[in-house]
Amino acid sequence: MHTHPGTVAILVYEGLCVFEFGIALEIFGLPRPELDVAWYAHRIVAVDPVPMRALGGIQISVDAGLEELDTADTIIIPGWRYRDPPPQALLNALINAHARGARLLSICSGVFVLAATGLLDGETVTTHWQFSDELAERFPLINVDPNVLYVDSGQIITSAGSAAGIDACLHLIARDFGTHIANSVARRLVMAPQRTGGQSQFIVAPVGKSPRNELSQVLQWIREHLDQPLSVSDMAARVAMSERTFLRRFIETTGLSPRAWLQQERLNRARELLETTDQSATGIAQACGYRSVESFRAAFRNAVGLPPSAYRERFGSAKISRQASRVAAAEPHPPTDATWRTATA
């Protein structure tokens, strides 16, 4: 049973970025009874004196003022008038919230507010590529990475332009509830599952732009054969391309190398199986194309931050977790690396 993730406070301000605000409200504020989990409570928190108007002249209603940040578990900063210094009262409230353990998530230019608190000094962050040079110039103690979708440093998550905020919010849901729930929310949003933070902001040819997109077809084929050894030459042969052309087209389309994309897909499948089945770690390793259960466990822990057993305990159903524990206890010694062939992509 998942614990309640607490209250999400969504900041609003004069000149509010409505798209970024809409992302936060849609993801955290919309009731989701179909998920059968204790969903977030949410509050809309005023930064500036009311009445406030968003971009386009929309008047904003609020639930509370900055005092709400004293008890919020997660605070979302959906953009900001980045050329204007944030009010000191807001900065103080964010510093105090961070000190007591609240999580802070910025979307796009909202990172300028976090930067002004000093909480990002010495950290790596991201923002929309259009703002990255100015952010780095104004806050030289911050390491700005303009090439990624979002950066999770634990208590603080910063995301790139607009739509990358959806990925960052889905990432937070995955931290709280697991990948299965995050993907369910993504489906409700009619979008692809949450992308990993390290993916490039610059994607030349979106996957699935045309049903006949040859790269879309090979990506789907790979997803259906994750248990098999897959090399770049295998992938290129599926679309009758040279390896060099395939590599270029693949990176243009996905923003990732074939090796990185394949690892991402295998880990996504592993997380889904851990959450929804009682398969043993050995069985999941085989189903996801890992050469051994040891290499699977190492890759999983490195990417997710938890070993597979702890991930299942946290995000799988209680019944699945109990069954898996009994299977693990009775499971024979796992096969050696020589038993299974490795993926070479």
pLDDT > 70 in the chain, percent: 85
For the chain, the structural domain boundaries read 7-188, 206-345
When pLDDT is averaged across residues 235-256 and rounded to a whole number, the result is 89
Q: What is the pLDDT of residues 101-133, one digit of tens each?
A: 999 999 999 999 999 999 999 999 999 999 999
307: pLDDT strictly greater than 50: yes
* Predicted local distance difference test score (pLDDT) of residue 198: 56
Count Cα neighbours of 181 within 13 Å in the Cβ-side half-sphere: 26
62: pLDDT strictly greater than 80: yes
Count Cα neighbours of 13 within 13 Å in the Cβ-side half-sphere: 19
When pLDDT is averaged across residues 283-306 and rounded to a whole number, the result is 93
Least confident of 73-87, 241-255, 273-287: 241-255
As a whole number of angstroms, the distance between CA 60 and CA 342 comes to 55
As a whole number of angstroms, the distance between CA 327 and CA 82 comes to 54
As a whole number of angstroms, the distance between CA 338 and CA 110 comes to 50
- Tell me 69's DSSP state: G
Could you tell me the fold of the domain covering 7-188?
Answer: Rossmann fold (3.40.50)
23: pLDDT strictly greater than 50: yes
pTM beyond 0.85, yes or no? no
Strand 150-152, strand 156-159: pairing: antiparallel
Q: What angle do the packed helices 258-276 and 243-254 form, to 10 degrees?
A: 60
Hey, what are 236's tokens? 């290129």
When pLDDT is averaged across residues 146-171 and rounded to a whole number, the result is 91
Strand 124-125, strand 74-78: pairing: unpaired
Categorize the per-residue pLDDT at 201 as very low, low, confident or very high, splitting at 50, 70 and 90: low
Report the candidate in 77, 151, 140 with the shortest Cα–Cα distance to residue 114.
77
CATH annotation of 206-345: 1.10.10.60
